[in-house]
Every structure is written in structure tokens, then in C-alpha cells.
Amino acid sequence: MADEVVVHAQDVWKVYGSGEAQVAALKGISVDIRRGEMVAIMGPSGCGKTTLLNCFSGLDDITKGVVTLEGVDIHRMSDGKKSNYRAMRTGFVFQSYNLLPVLDAVENVEMPLLISGVAAKEARARATQILQEMELGDRLHHRPSELSGGQQQRVSLARALVTRPAIVWADEPTGNLDAAGSQQVTELLRSLNRQYRQSIVVVTHDPEVALSCDRTLRMRDGKFDS
Amino acid sequence: MADAFVVALILVVGGAGAITALLALLHRLSFRIAYRNVKRGRWRTVLLILGLLVGTTIVASSLVIGDTVNSVNVHFTYQSIGYTTEAIYDQSLNRGYLGFNYSIYTALAARSSGDPQIAGIAPEIVGTVAAFDRSTGLPQSGLNLIGVNANQSRQLGPFVADDGTHLAGPGPAQLYLDDQAASDLGAHVGDPVLLFGASSAPAIVAAIVQDDTRGGFLFGGNAFVDLAVAQQIENLSGQVNFLAVTNAGALAETSQLTGPVSATLNDSLKAIGAPSGLSVHQWLQDNLATAESAGSSLSTLFLVLGLFSIVAGGMLIVGIFVMLAEERKGEMGMLRAIGLKRRELVLIFYFEGFLYSAGSALAGTVLGVGVGYGLVYAFSIFFATSQVSGAAILDSFTVTSASLVVAYVVGFLLTLATVAIASGRASRLNIVRAIRNVPEPPPQLRVYTFLAALGAGLAAVGALLYWRTYAGTTDLSEPLVAGGLLILGVALVGARFVANRIVFTAAGLALLIWTGVPALHHLLLGSGHGGMIFAFFVEGVWMVLGAILVYIFNADLVVAGVTRSLGSRPAGVSVARIGLSYPSRRPFRTAINLAIFSMVVFTIVGVASFGSSIQANVDQLVESQSGGYTFFGVSQSPIPELPGLVANNSTLAPLFADVVPLLFGSGEVQFPGAPSGYQDNVLSAPTGVPTSQNFYDTNAYNFSSTLNGWTTSEVWSELQGHPEYAVVDGAYASGGFANFGGHHPTLTVGTKVALSNTDTHAISNLTVIGLLSESTINGIWVNPTTARGLGYENETAFLLRTTAGTDPTVAAQRAKIAFFAEGLLLFDFATILKTSIQSTEAIVSLLEIYVTLGLAVGIAAIGIVALRAVVERRGEIGMLRAEGFTQRMILKVFLLEYSYVALLGIGIGTSLAILLTYNAAQNSGGFLTFSVPVANVAVIVLAAYALTIAAVIGPSIKAARLPPAEAVRYSE
């Protein structure tokens, strides 16, 4: 079970534009990520890290190749099924948090549960619990504008993890944080990964984050370094 | 029917509400987010509601005006017609009411006596008399003579004296005058008065009665006498010429029985062998319908002019939602990333829009009622008359529940439909680009292919509509719409293959030419189309769209030119370059704001210029419409040799320079395109008379069009010499002044018309050789040989010119006294035209105030954009501050940007409105003299600009004061 491949990518290409203006952002990427594995993807700016994350997670289409998540080809799903899959089986963390400013912390966190069809009462309880685990129990009803950057990113993390997803995709989760906040989020990611055995794919520039991962994949010019 | 419509509307809104409530229950998360979004920014919500409610306000206020005018008219109709629900008379010979034997009345009354639906039938004599008050020495022609038995007051209601006492009716040798007639004669109770009709009769004024349900019969100016006296005056011994039928029930309910009562009475008339021309006329019902139609016409006029603001409001909604979508792009991307489906995003916008729509429609309806009251108040000042006082108009302020429901529902659905469309557009996004806030790439080829297909469809619809309407309608708006659709459709197809700048600039210019060059309409559409009020709306929309297309696709060139013109100081150049670059960077947003501003200003300046052109035309109008004469006169009985009688009268001779007698009567005009049985006046001036009587040599009428390019004098000369020729008044001309309803048949010179006298049944086939510019005296002018051949033998109309320095009022008074026995009435051209222009001016003034409401849309639009811009550009502002921009420079950047958009919109709207007014004046057939109210336009431009600055100054200051460090760090 522990060795089960959760993310399988085979010869994945992503090409932007057409004709002479074509730019290949991903050039035949192949990789497997196992359940419970925390993988860092590093590389210089423009090497295709975020494109890889978007294509693997199903947020963006691929030009060629296959990406399966838990054995299902994500790019053969309809938009509705893809949305359902994202709601139930994956979580996302972004550099700019992307919390809804009109909802408070607990409402932001319970949102993926409600989208997945979890009853409102249970959703509220689970959202409250995970925020308390992240030491935000006293910030449940604060709106994003009333939270610090680190606190916002922890709320964002809670939102990504509250559905107990199989895979968490994190794009520069510490990019907007100071050193202390960065360390706190990294530790949190690692401890949750260990606690819930979720696969986590982190795109990062931060060596400290990479160090805390099981594996680091380095990218250059749309390919993994060999 | 109306009730069913209202119920249907309520059901539609109720249904929409129920479906939305159900959706909200099923998608609580989406509803929660939408609800929170509504509460997000109070100032913005206020601006949103302000922008959204304008449409509803306009609909509501125009309906309130319609309700009130309808109420005034209905009130006036009841006052004027009273208890005469149906009238039985014979007007088959077009010579007033024909007399019939009194026994017909007695037979009909006997047959109807047991009918529970009929309260009574009153035999009457109704005619026209001249009266002379011997005490005051004042004459008055054209009074209504009403002879009825005093005992009929039980059926028709009592007369009410000015002191409030109720009177049964005049006895033998007694005369009741209503307020209007008493005022005309200066009469008092006890005055001896001579009444002149077919014969004369003396009477004593026994009472002056109020213009209410009885005294105001036939819309006033009444002389009531005993039936026997009236029979004597009209030479109708043993006869009556009018039966007033009163249905059972209260006054307001009597017309409901009109259908069955009319059928019964018509059957009875046949049964008793009444003359074939004698029939039942549904008087009250027909007059009520006319009254309601007048209210509805005015309501339509206000509504159509308000359409510009409604369209601007619609664009504002689209603009707002596109902007909201931009603002929330990141949030929406995130929501999609964590599994929210696209339809749920649509629902978030839809719920938000629903809440705005419901709220703004309610506020708009309430505000619309307030605006309506304001307009009715203005009406009560401008339009009060002796019969309908200002207080009575204000008392008639009416808001029907149907209007409230219609206004709310129309406003609500209009907003909701726009919101629904905008929501669909807003929710289409690429998740990755949304989350990372990456700009959308330029449209791909498949987008252009889709647009080309859409364009082909539009062009096909336009071509079909053009083909169906170009020669088959009198309404210019339809082929105008068709041409516009065709141009836009072709442009969209062209954009698939040719550069956008070329295609859309060409399309914009084509739209401007299509709507801005009336000669093109005449060339392509022929002369069968009149300028209707809807055409003004269509022209306005196409013109504004055309101008904006030309600007948007060439904005870079304009901005470069403007930047260069703003000087060469480095700081100034920096501010100009940045301030002017923003509108070009967001072309869609800029286009929406420009369109809103242009359209609103277009309407305001258009209405103001139109009013000014009417005002500027007064003297010229009097000159062109009067033909240089002072009076048009008509007499009840022919006055042969009037010129000689005037010349030999020592009082009149010094007052009148020219007296032209005219053979005058009514005829039926037939030609291809004219409605069957079109009635018009027939006029003919005798030839071979002295200069002072010679119409052909002394009139100053002009022609808008003549056969063979003949000069004015040649046309009159040809008419004198050829019995087969005719000349018609300006109402027959095409492409003239927009009339607000009703169609006058139009023709061109060279048209063959058949003119028949309905009395003699003689027919003449004539060729129209001239279209007069004037249309105050309606009719067809023919050679005197033709007129006599058709049976128009009597000189009962006259054109009179006073000598220099003569007061027209004095001249008219003296002539009326001299010829009051013949019932001579003189109409002073200048007074008639100035009075009619005064009411038009008053309506135009009200319209000016009314359309200014639309400015709220423009202000709201630019205010919302400014609020958004401050948030959107925080990072850029921070960078500019870091690079050395002062707070003052940032403020200048913002103010320059909004000033540019506002002034550009104001400039486009103003210039297009002036162009359209110029075109209208050129094609008005002399009704308008092109004039731009420079002071008014300056006030409008300054007010619009000042309000814009007031709306953006707050956000601009906020932007200027942003701490640079905070601004640089900021991300949405």
C-alpha cells in the first residue's frame, strides 16, 4: 500500500503557441510519485515547475502524454468529473494564499468539504479541528485581511488538507513568507504528511523546504535533470 | 387583459424568485459567497445600485406620466361628455349634425323605456352659433349651441352655477353660458345676447355655469338654450339632430354597457325606419380610448428618450460584472481549483446579480414615482389651462398598481437578464491564468471563426429585415436597424480575414455615414419613410457605436497625438503618457464607459438642441407657415364679396391690406399609398381678381419640391392655367419633421391623385406639381375651375393681411363684429404657431430634465471604474512612487485618465447630437431652424465633467496617498 503509485506521468509534453512561435514548457516528463511521499520540485525560474504542477493536477491541459492520479487518467475526465476529483481527492496551496476575502478562516477551510457534499455541521467541526491543530483556534472567525501572511498560508494549508486528500499540490507555499513563517509552514506540511500519509508535491525555490522532503526533482528547460 | 398581464408579470417575478430561492437552498455555499460579496464594499454597492436603478426609474416615471396624463384626460373626458354615454346622430354629409324628425326620438324612447341598461334618451339640437353680448358689445363666433329640454337634467345631471347652486336648465328665452363662453363674451347674468345661426334669436343670460359634467359639454365654449329656441336658430322646426343616450349605473360605469346598448339601439333605429345615416356612436368609450391613447403616447415619448439611459444602464451592468470578474479572478480560479464547478461560479454571480436586481428595481420604482411626481408638478405649471387647472393636474397625480408592477418587473428582469448574460461571460476563465493573475492571451483563430459565423447570421438578419422593410414601412427605424446589423455582421465576418483596425474602423465609419447622412436614406429607401421617434433612438445608438468603434481601434494614434499636444516638460509627459495609456490598455472597459457617457450626453444635448432649434424657428416658422398673411379665416356661412365688403367698411378698410377669398370644402384624396377615404381640405383661390385679392401673386409660401424644377411663381402660374394640376401642403412631403404618432400619407411631385367631393360625388384626376413647405393649413390646392367643377362653390375661407402697424388683435375683433352674423372666425398665424411652440418647448424642457437622469449612469460607471483602478494598480502606483512620482503626479495621472474618458465621451455625444439635430432641421420641412444652445450645452458639458471629477476625486486622492512601500508589496 505504501508503495502504491499515486501520481504517474508518462512522456508529458506541454507546448504553448503554434507554428514558429511554439514554446515547449514540458518536454517528455515521466515520473511516479508514491502514496505518502513528499516531493520537492526545484529549478530556475521559467524551467516549467509550475506548468508541471498545473498539468499534473489537472488544472491545465497537456499537449501529449498521460497523467494518472490514483490510476485514473485526469485528462480524459470531463470538466465536471475533474472538478469532483479535485474537490474530493486533491488539495492546493498557492504562494498568494487565494483565500476568499469575504469568508472568515473557518468558512474558507470548510469550503472544499461543502463542495464535496459533506454536511454543514460536520464540515464546520472538521474545519475547526484542523485549524486548531494548526494553532489557529483563536482565529476561526477572522477574515483574511485580519490575519498575518503566515496565518493566511496556514489557513490555506488547512483548506488543502481538510478533505484528507490523496495528493496535495503546493506552488511556492513559502514564497510570500518570512523565515519564521516559512519554517512554520514547512514543518506543518511535513508533520501533516507524516500524520495523514498524503502525497505532497511542492514546487519551491526554498532549499529548506526541499530538505524536508523525501525526494527532490530538479528541472531545467522543461525536463528533469538526469 | 391588463390585469391578466400584471398577474402574468407577478407570476414571472414570483417564479424567478422561487427558482432562485430553490437554487440558493441547493447551492448554499454559492449563495453565501454571493451574499458576502454584496456586503463587501458599501460605497461600491451604493454606486452599483445607483447605476442599476436608473433603468427602473425611467420605466417607472414614464409610466407614472402616462397614468397621470391618462387620469387628467379621463377626468376631462367625463367633464366634457358627462352622462352622454352614446350619441345618435347623422353626419353622413360632412356638414355637421343633420336634422331628423322628432318622432324618431319618441319612437326610440318608447322602445327603450323598459330597457334596464338605458337610463334615458335626451333629444337635443347641437350646432354652432355666433353670439353678441349687447351689454359688453363683444361678439364671439364658433360657440357650441346646445338645445335641450330642461326636464332632461334628471338624466344628464344638473347645471352647476358658479355659486354652487344646481339648476335644471334654461327656460324659453333664457341662455346659460359656461365659464369659457362667458369669458369670451365678457358676459354677466342678465346680459341680453343675440344668437346667430341659420337664423337669429335673442336671449337673456340666466346663469353662468361651471365647466363640469354638464356645463363643459363638447369641451366648452357653450351656449345652452331651450330645445325650441335651438330649433328656431337652426331652422330645424319639429326636428332634432342629436340624441344623448345615458346608460344605467354610476358615471364611471356607464361605458361598460356601451356594447349591448349600442347594438340594441341600432336594431331599434332600423326597426323604426330611421334614416340610414343615423346611427349610434360609442361616444364616451371612444373619447376615453382617445384620452388613454394620448397618455400612452406621452408615456412612450418619455420612455423612448429614456431608452438611451436604459441601454447605458445595461452596458453599465455588463461593465460592472466584467470588472467584478477581473477583480475576483484569483478567487474564482482558486474556487475552481478546489473543485467548484463552472455552473456554481455562474450561480455566485447570478445570486449576487439577483440581490442587486431585486434591490435596485425596488429603489428604482420608488425613485421613479418621485421623479414622475416632479414631472407632473412641472406639467401643472406649464400646461394649466382655464379648463384644467394646475391644481387639478396635480390632484390627478396617479400611480396605478399595474404601473408599479410593470416598472418593477421590467426593471428587475432587464437587470437580471443582463446580469445572467454577464455572469456567463465572467465565469469563463482559465484556472491557471486566473490563479496566477496572468492576462488573457489574444483571441485565437477559432474565436474569430465563431465571430464570423455570428456575423454572417447578423448580416443575414439585417439583409432580410432591410429587404422586408425598405419599401414596406413608413417607420425609418426598421431599415435603419437592418442597415446597422448588416454593417456589423459584415465587419465580424471581415475580422476573420483582415486586421481588426481596418475592419472595425471601416464598420464604424459606415455606421456613422449610414445614420448621419440623410441623403443616403432618401437614395436607398425612397421617400416613403417618415422620421419617427424610434428612428432617433436607433440613429443615436448606431452613431455612438460607430464613433466608438472608430476611436477604440485607433486609440493609439489619438493618444499619441494628445500626449504630444500636452507639452514637452518631462514630468508632464510622464503623467500624460501613463494617464492616457490606461484607457488604451483596457479597451473593453473604456469602450463601455465611452458608450455610456456618449449616449447619455447625446440624449441631453440632442433634446436641448432640438428645443433650441424649435425656438430659433419661431419667426421663420410664422413667415413660412403663414405665406405672409396675418390671418386664416373661416366663416359658418359663405361671405361672397368679402374683399369688397371690407374695402367699403370705413372701420375695416384701414386695417386690412389684402383679403383673399378661397373656395373651401372637404374632399377625399386618393392615390397609391394613401389610406382609403383619406379626408382633407380643398382650397382654391380665384383668378382674374385685383392684386389685393390675388393669392397667386401675393402669397409668400415656399415649395419643398416642384415638378420639373419650376420656381415658386412658375408653380402658381401653372396652377392658375391648368385645371388638371394641384398643389399639396407640407404634411404630404416625405422625410419631414418627426410626428409622434399617426401617419399622414406621403407623395412626391408628379403623383396622380383622384380628388372627390363626397357631397356631389364628382371626381377630378389631378397631377401634384408642388409640395408646399407649410403645413399649418392642411389641404390640397386646386385651380378654381376644378374646384367649381367638383361643387366647391362657396367662399367660406379667407387669407387676410393687415396693414403695416395694425394690431392683429384689434383687426380680428373688428372683423368678427362686422361679420359675426356669418360666423367669421379669424386665426392669427403668429399666435397659433407661437402657442403650439410654447407647449412643445415646455415638453422639451421637461424632457431635458428627464434625460439628465441618465447622467447618474455615467457617474456611477466612472466612479466604479475609479474605485477598481485604485485596487488594481496598487503595485504600479508603488513602483511609480518608488521611481520618483510625487503624490501630486499620481493624482494628476488619475484625473487625466478620467478626464480624458469623460471628455471624449462628452465630445462624441455632443457632436453626434448636434449633427443629428442639423440633419433633422435640414429635413424638417421648415419646422426647425438649426440652432445649438451654446450656453445650455456648455452647462451640460461642465456639469457632466464636474460630476465625473466629483465621482473620481476620492479614489484618486486615495491612490495618490498610498504609502509606496505598502503599495509595492500589495497583491490582490
Q: What is the pLDDT of residue B742?
A: 38
Asked if B29 lies within 8 A of A88 by C-beta distance, the reply is no
Contact B660/B685 with Cβ under 8 angstroms? Answer: yes
Contact B707/B749 with Cβ under 8 angstroms? Answer: yes
> Residue B57 corresponds to which cell in the numbers above?
426609474
Residue B149 has pLDDT above 60, yes or no: yes
Residue B653 has pLDDT above 50, yes or no: yes
What distance in Å separates the CA atoms of residue B913 and residue B603, rounded to the nearest whole number?
7
Asked if B338 lies within 8 A of A92 by C-beta distance, the reply is yes
B334 touches chain A (CB under 8 A): yes
- In this prediction, residue B254 has a pLDDT band, given cuts at 50, 70 and 90, of confident
Q: Which residues of A touch B32 (CB under 8 A)?
A: 103, 107
Q: What is the pLDDT of residue B865?
A: 77
What distance in Å separates the CA atoms of residue B198 and residue B527, rounded to the nearest whole number?
46
Q: For residue range A133-146, list pLDDT tens digits in order.
A: 888 999 999 988 88
By the 10 Å C-beta count (0-12 exposed, 13-18 middle, 19+ buried), B934 is classed as exposed
Number of Cβ within 10 Å of residue B188's Cβ equals 13
> Residue B386 corresponds to which cell in the numbers above?
382655464
Q: Which residues of A touch B432 (CB under 8 A)?
A: 54, 59-60
What distance in Å separates the CA atoms of residue B208 and residue B301, rounded to the nearest whole number?
39
What distance in Å separates the CA atoms of residue B792 and residue B781, rounded to the nearest whole number?
12
What distance in Å separates the CA atoms of residue B741 and residue B750, rounded to the nearest whole number?
27
Query: By C-alpha distance, which of B206, B187, B202, B172 is closest to B139?
Result: B187
Contact B329/B88 with Cβ under 8 angstroms? Answer: no
Q: Which residues of A touch B33 (CB under 8 A)?
A: 100, 102-103
Q: What is the mean pLDDT of chain B?
A: 84
Q: What average pLDDT does this structure show over B676-693?
A: 82
Count each helix (H run) and each strand (E run) in chain B, helices first. Answer: 34, 23
Residue A5 has pLDDT above 70, yes or no: yes
Residue B157 has pLDDT above 70, yes or no: yes
Gap from A187 CA to chain B (nearest CA, Å):
23
Contact B257/B175 with Cβ under 8 angstroms? Answer: no
Beta-sheet pairing, B200-209 with A223-224: unpaired
Q: What is the pLDDT of residue B94?
A: 55
By the 10 Å C-beta count (0-12 exposed, 13-18 middle, 19+ buried), B953 is classed as middle
Q: Which residue of A has its CA nearest to B969?
A: A176
- State the count of interchain CB pairs (< 8 A) between A and B: 74
Q: Which residue has the higher pLDDT, B315 or B513?
A: B513
Most confident of B30-44, B170-184, B370-384: B170-184
Give, as one character, the DSSP assignment of residue B439.
P
Of residues A79, A103, A160, nearest to B36 (C-beta)? A103
Provide the percentage of residues in chain B whose pLDDT is more than 90. Answer: 27
Q: What is the pLDDT of residue B132?
A: 86
DSSP reduced 3-state for B752: strand
B329 touches chain A (CB under 8 A): no
Q: What average pLDDT does this structure show over A87-99?
A: 85
- In this prediction, residue B862 has a pLDDT band, given cuts at 50, 70 and 90, of confident
A9 pairs with which residues across the strands? A31, A67
Give, as one character, the DSSP assignment of residue A101.
T
What is the residue type of B218? L
Q: What is the pLDDT of residue B739?
A: 31
- What is the DSSP track for B120-154? EEEEEEEEEEEEEETTT--EEEEEEEEEE-GGGHH
Report the complex ipTM. Answer: 0.77
Gap from A160 CA to chain B (nearest CA, Å):
8
Residue B738 has pLDDT above 50, yes or no: no
By the 10 Å C-beta count (0-12 exposed, 13-18 middle, 19+ buried), B381 is classed as exposed
Could you write out the three-class secondary structure of B940-968?
A: HHHHHHHHHHHHHHHHHHHHHCCCHHHHH
Q: Which residues of A touch B330 (CB under 8 A)?
A: 96, 98
Asked if B29 lies within 8 A of A111 by C-beta distance, the reply is yes
Helix then strand then coil, in percent of chain B rounded to 5, is: 60, 15, 25
Q: For residue range B414-423, list pLDDT tens digits in order.
A: 778 877 777 7
Residue B76 has pLDDT above 90, yes or no: no
Q: What is the pLDDT of residue B735?
A: 37
Asked if B334 lies within 8 A of A83 by C-beta distance, the reply is no
Q: CA-CA-CA-CA torsion for B373, B378, B380, B382, nearest 10 degrees? A: -160
What is the residue type of A132? Q
Residue B736 has pLDDT above 50, yes or no: no
Gap from A85 CA to chain B (nearest CA, Å):
7
What distance in Å separates the CA atoms of residue B873 and residue B636, rounded to the nearest whole number?
80
Q: Which of A103-112, B132-141, B797-806, B837-846 has the lowest mean pLDDT?
A: B837-846
Residue B229 has pLDDT above 50, yes or no: yes
Count each helix (H run) and each strand (E run) in chain A, helices first. Answer: 7, 10
Residue B528 has pLDDT above 60, yes or no: no
Q: Which residue has the higher pLDDT, B723 or B197?
A: B723
Residue A37 has pLDDT above 90, yes or no: yes
Gap from B317 CA to chain A (nearest CA, Å):
22
A143 touches chain B (CB under 8 A): no
Q: What is the pLDDT of residue B677?
A: 65
Interface test with B, best of A59, A116, A143, A177 (most B CBs within 10 A): A59
Phi and psi at B120, nearest 5°, equal: 170, 165
Residue B69 has pLDDT above 80, yes or no: no
- In this prediction, residue B487 has a pLDDT band, given cuts at 50, 70 and 90, of very high
Query: By C-alpha distance, which of A78, A58, A43 is closest to A167?
Result: A58
Asked if B338 lies within 8 A of A159 by C-beta distance, the reply is yes
Give, as one character, the DSSP assignment of residue A60.
S
Asked if A114 lies within 8 A of B37 by C-beta distance, the reply is no
Contact B550/B904 with Cβ under 8 angstroms? Answer: no
Provide the percentage of residues in chain B whose pLDDT is more than 70. Answer: 92
**B389-400 per-residue burial string, b: 16 or more CB within 10 A, e: under 16:** eeebbbebbbbb
Contact B707/B770 with Cβ under 8 angstroms? Answer: yes
Contact B906/B601 with Cβ under 8 angstroms? Answer: yes
Gap from A196 CA to chain B (nearest CA, Å):
19
A15 touches chain B (CB under 8 A): no
B339 touches chain A (CB under 8 A): yes
Asked if A98 lies within 8 A of B33 by C-beta distance, the reply is no
A167 pairs with which residues across the strands? A90, A199
Most confident of B379-393, B674-688, B868-882: B674-688
What is the residue type of B578? I
Supply the Cα-derived Rg of chain B in whole angstroms: 34
> Residue B708 corresponds to which cell in the numbers above?
420639373
Our CA angle for B740, B745, B749, nearest 5°, is 125
Q: What is the pLDDT of residue B567?
A: 67
A159 touches chain B (CB under 8 A): yes
Contact B529/B475 with Cβ under 8 angstroms? Answer: yes
Q: For residue range B562-611, list pLDDT tens digits in order.
A: 877 776 666 677 788 788 888 877 788 888 888 888 988 998 898 888 88
Residue with grid cell 334614416, as numbered in its chain: B275
Q: Which residues of B touch A107 (CB under 8 A)?
A: 32
Residue B212 has pLDDT above 90, yes or no: no
Q: What average pLDDT does this structure show over B93-103?
A: 79
Number of Cβ within 10 Å of residue B291's Cβ equals 21
> Residue B718 corresponds to which cell in the numbers above?
401653372
Asked if B432 lies within 8 A of A159 by C-beta distance, the reply is no
Residue B813 has pLDDT above 50, yes or no: yes
Q: Which residue has the higher pLDDT, A17 or B181?
A: B181
> Residue B813 corresponds to which cell in the numbers above?
375683433
Contact B225/B174 with Cβ under 8 angstroms? Answer: yes
